Amino acid sequence: MKYRRLGQTDLLISEVGFGVWSVATTWWGVRDIALGRRLLRQAYDLGINFYDTADVYGNGRGETMLAEALEGIPRDKVIIATKFGYDFYRYGGQRQGHGELPQDFSSSYVRKALEESLRRLGTDYVDLYQVHNPRLSALERDELFATLEELQRQGKVRYIGVALGPDIGWEEEGLYAMTQRKVSSLQIIYSILEQQPARRFFPVARETGCGLLSRVPHASGLLDGTYRPGMTFPPGDHRAHRRQGWLERSLRKVERVTFLWEAEMARTIGQAAIQFCLSEPTISSVLPNITSEKELKEFAAAPHTPPLTPEEVARLHHLFDHDFFLEPEQAPA
């Protein structure tokens, strides 16, 4: 494994991290908790030291699973990031499908959420505490960041970050978090097929010293070999709601980038997707969706495959900027 510093912090994190949501929720098809714990532990054995979870993943399960998986490992050997903001304590039983729960960023809720996360994680501090999918109005609240800074002074939180979402976008929030709140990290969506607004964040991250965390590098399975034409997903899988025709058009885009892993490139499609993210210096770690031992080993090995050349990266930017030279998408009748 290779490691990078997270922005201007003293956290040296693995270039490939483990996004716990892929094993703590059923949104990616993993329903075996024992498998999830096993993968989390095997990741450490492969050199992964950065784990990204959230209190709302599995209504606390993501944090307890992580604590169980890492039992016996010295606390200072792992970097734990978690998130807060969704009030699943009050509304956890009322989630509609994959819809968002109500958010609470009040000082009292933040303090409660952190204490509960520390208890579930079995630790007395979190390395990176992230505001989970905030709207601009939340980021503009001085009380929120005053509370977070106080928790830092108390030693319960080492660094403060913001995770953008739930889907791609949120450019205004990302820019505000970096320039006005000077957060240590910003978690974004970035992949060969989903390059904006991430590329507009890069120069600002360089100027502010913010470390970027890139999730969903495989575009929800399009860039790891998961998808096949005409396939469907079972109810509960978050990919099942995609609009008709999306898969076929997306796979045609993937066909335009096969030069990354064909011939003698010595990298798989999944590894090429991770290397694309790592080609950007402001990205400190990539968080692929890991659902099997095969994926874990493949993705963990990605930093040791041939990096993308500047020419390859420029070609991928050009393809994206021209919608991969596909014909214009037809509006629904």
Residues near 88 by beta carbon (within 8 Å), at least 6 away in sequence: 55, 56, 59, 60, 95, 101
- 230 pLDDT band, cuts 50/70/90, is low
Q: What stretches of 12-159 show up as alpha helix (H) in DSSP?
A: 21-24, 33-45, 61-69, 88-91, 107-121, 136-139, 142-153
Handedness of CA 40, 93, 81, 290 (dihedral sign): positive
Per-residue pLDDT reduced to its tens digit, 86-117: 998 887 655 555 578 899 999 999 999 999 99
Structural contact between residues 161 and 130, judged by C-beta atoms closer than 8 angstroms: yes
Residue 46 has pLDDT above 80, yes or no: yes
The tokens of 159 are what? 């660094």
Q: Which of 249, 251, 259, 242 is nearest to 318 (CA)?
A: 259
> Can you give the C-alpha Rg of the chain in angstroms?
19
> Is residue 332 helix, strand or coil?
coil
Structural contact between residues 129 and 149, judged by C-beta atoms closer than 8 angstroms: no
What residues act catalytically? Answer: 57
Q: Which residues lie across from 80 on neighbouring strands?
A: 51
Q: Which of 160, 22, 135 is nearest to 81 (CA)?
A: 160
Per-residue pLDDT reduced to its tens digit, 3-41: 999 999 999 999 999 999 989 887 656 678 899 999 999
- 241 pLDDT band, cuts 50/70/90, is low
Per-residue pLDDT reduced to its tens digit, 168-227: 999 999 999 999 999 999 999 999 999 999 999 999 999 999 999 999 999 989 999 887
State mean pLDDT over 306-319: 97
Q: Which amino acid is at 222?
A: L
Structural contact between residues 201 and 188, judged by C-beta atoms closer than 8 angstroms: yes
3-state secondary structure 153-209: HCCCEEEEEEECCCCCCCHHHHHHHHHCCCCCEEEEECECCECCCHHHHHHHHHHHC
pLDDT recorded at residue 302: 98
Q: Which of 265, 274, 276 is nearest to 315 (CA)?
A: 276
State mean pLDDT over 136-141: 98
Place of tokens 């520390």: 118
**What phi and psi values does residue 80 have, to the nearest 5 degrees?**
-110, 125
pLDDT recorded at residue 100: 84
* C-alpha to C-alpha distance for 118 and 233, rounded to whole angstroms: 35
| Lowest mean pLDDT segment, chosen from 27-36, 46-55, 158-167, 307-316 | 27-36
